[in-house]
């Protein structure tokens, strides 16, 4: 199989490339990545000789068309992915997430290539802390941030191309990922690397916001299950039923890194900060017989902490610039 992976030098995409090469040894894999601040070829160093790497953008229609014409399957991870950045500067989100997805759709339609589109649970907006409901495939879209609204826009384009043009596509909406190669701007790696540096973790607002955490390898095993057994035109929600508030995440990290559980600061809140996300993964489990391999969040966090301790050379070059940006935002 000839597989094109967009955004394969980013956090989830790079982990996907590693897992796919392990599980599908015959795959011919091409990565298309613009290497923005969030992309790093070092995340692919261990498999560099087993893939073709193309440095370019999903917004380059001619390049996308050429690469798609030489593929059987496209897995579309490329996106601007960070909410705080989207509030400060929304245009790159519109351009990459919406226009880039449009170009991919045009090409997979033209060449009749299978597409899997990677999306997020943030398209559904947020839930109250005490709401027993969780997101399902039937939940209405109600995004809050420029990031989530551009992901919602991309999902709707995919749905329309399936219905109007018969494009062979599937969509997955996953909850918050954690694990190796996660950029230090994101919550868990930011706090791990702060603690390693002797800096107190910074929690937005009250810290009562809840995220539904999944290890990146479990997200990617679900994507492979959808590619192998998913029904064309369907949407699958991916989650590991692991709702934890931000105060608790930080307390666990502090314990793993031998600091007191109250060694953190509350800082100013993110504008429009979503309160709670929660995924009901029932359809994925029942239809595709998928289940997560990480059943303990604590063990997954411990493995992640070990990875950041062992791979300072990977994250150190990104840290100072990231913290400078946060300082400008007062967070």
Catalytic residues: 121-122, 147
Stretch binding ligand TDX (CB under 6 A), from 15-23, 77-85, 128-136, 315-323: 77-85
Is residue 40 near ligand TDX by the rule CB under 6 A?
A: no
Q: Are 177 and 242 in contact (CB under 8 A)?
A: no
Task: Report CA torsion sign: 10, 13, 16, 21.
Answer: negative
CA angle 189, 194, 199 (to 5 degrees): 160
User: Residue written as tokens 């796919």?
Assistant: 20
Q: Which two tokens stand for residue 158?
A: 């995919």
Closer by beta carbon to ligand TDX, 54 or else 247? 247
Exactly one of 18, 116, 186, 215 binds ligand TDX (CB under 6 A); that residue is 186
Chosen from ligand NAD, ligand TDX, none, partner binding at 83 (C-beta under 5 to 8 Å by type): ligand TDX
Interacting residues of 288 by C-beta distance below 8 A, sequence separation 6+: 222, 225, 226, 229, 230, 236
Chosen from ligand TDX, ligand NAD, none, partner binding at 204 (C-beta under 5 to 8 Å by type): ligand TDX
Is residue 82 near ligand TDX by the rule CB under 6 A?
A: yes
- The pairing of strands 73-76 and 114-120 is parallel
Residues near ligand TDX (CB under 6 A), total: 16
What is the C-alpha separation between 243 and 43, in angstroms, rounded?
28
Residue 252, φ and ψ in degrees, nearest 5: -65, -45
Residue 183, φ and ψ in degrees, nearest 5: -60, 145
- Whole-number minimum distance, CB 258 to ligand NAD, in Å? 27
Q: x-or-dash pattern for ligand TDX, window 115-154, by CB under 6 A?
A: -----x-x--------------------------------
Exactly one of 20, 43, 59, 81 binds ligand TDX (CB under 6 A); that residue is 81
What is the C-alpha separation between 37 and 252, in angstroms, rounded?
29
- Whole-number minimum distance, CB 211 to ligand TDX, in Å? 5
Residue 318, φ and ψ in degrees, nearest 5: -90, -15
What is the C-alpha separation between 307 and 283, in angstroms, rounded?
32
Closer by beta carbon to ligand TDX, 51 or else 213? 213
Residue nearest ligand TDX by beta-carbon distance: 120
Is residue 215 near ligand TDX by the rule CB under 6 A?
A: no
Closer by beta carbon to ligand NAD, 100 or else 207? 100
**Residues near ligand TDX, by CB under 6 A:** 81-83, 120, 122, 176, 186-187, 190, 202-204, 209, 211, 246, 270
């Amino acid at each position: 199989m000839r597989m094109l992976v967009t955004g394969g030098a980013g956090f989830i995409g790079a982990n996907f490339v590693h897992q796919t090469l392990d599980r599908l040894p015959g795959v011919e894999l091409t990565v298309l990545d613009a290497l923005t601040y969030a992309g790093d070829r070092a995340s692919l160093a261990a498999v560099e000789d087993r893939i073709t790497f193309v440095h370019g953008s999903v917004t380059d229609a001619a390049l996308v068309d050429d690469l798609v014409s030489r593929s059987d399957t496209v897995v579309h991870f490329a996106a601007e992915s960070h909410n705080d950045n989207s509030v400060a500067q929304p245009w790159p989100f519109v351009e990459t997430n919406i226009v880039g997805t449009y170009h991919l759709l045009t090409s997979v339609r033209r060449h009749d290539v299978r597409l899997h589109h990677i999306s997020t649970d943030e398209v559904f907006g947020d839930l109250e802390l005490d709401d027993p409901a969780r997101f399902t495939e039937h939940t209405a879209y109600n995004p809050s941030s420029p990031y989530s609204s551009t992901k919602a826009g991309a999902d709707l384009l995919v749905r329309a191309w399936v219905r109007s043009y018969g494009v062979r596509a599937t969509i997955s909406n996953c909850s918050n990922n954690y694990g190796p190669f996660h950029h230090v701007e994101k919550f868990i790696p930011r706090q791990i690397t702060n603690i390693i540096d002797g800096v107190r973790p910074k929690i937005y607002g009250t810290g009562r916001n809840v995220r539904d955490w999944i290890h990146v390898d479990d997200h990617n095993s679900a994507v492979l299950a959808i590619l192998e057994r998913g029904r064309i035109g369907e949407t699958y929600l991916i989650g590991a039923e692991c709702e934890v508030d931000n105060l608790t995440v930080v307390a666990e990290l502090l314990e793993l890194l031998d600091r007191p559980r109250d060694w953190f600061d509350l800082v100013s809140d993110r504008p429009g900060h979503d309160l709670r996300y929660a995924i009901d993964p029932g359809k994925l489990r029942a239809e595709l017989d998928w289940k997560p391999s990480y059943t303990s969040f604590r063990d997954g966090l411990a493995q992640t902490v070990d990875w950041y301790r062992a791979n300072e050379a990977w994250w150190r070059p990104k840290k100072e610039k990231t913290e400078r940006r946060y300082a400008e935002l007062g967070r």
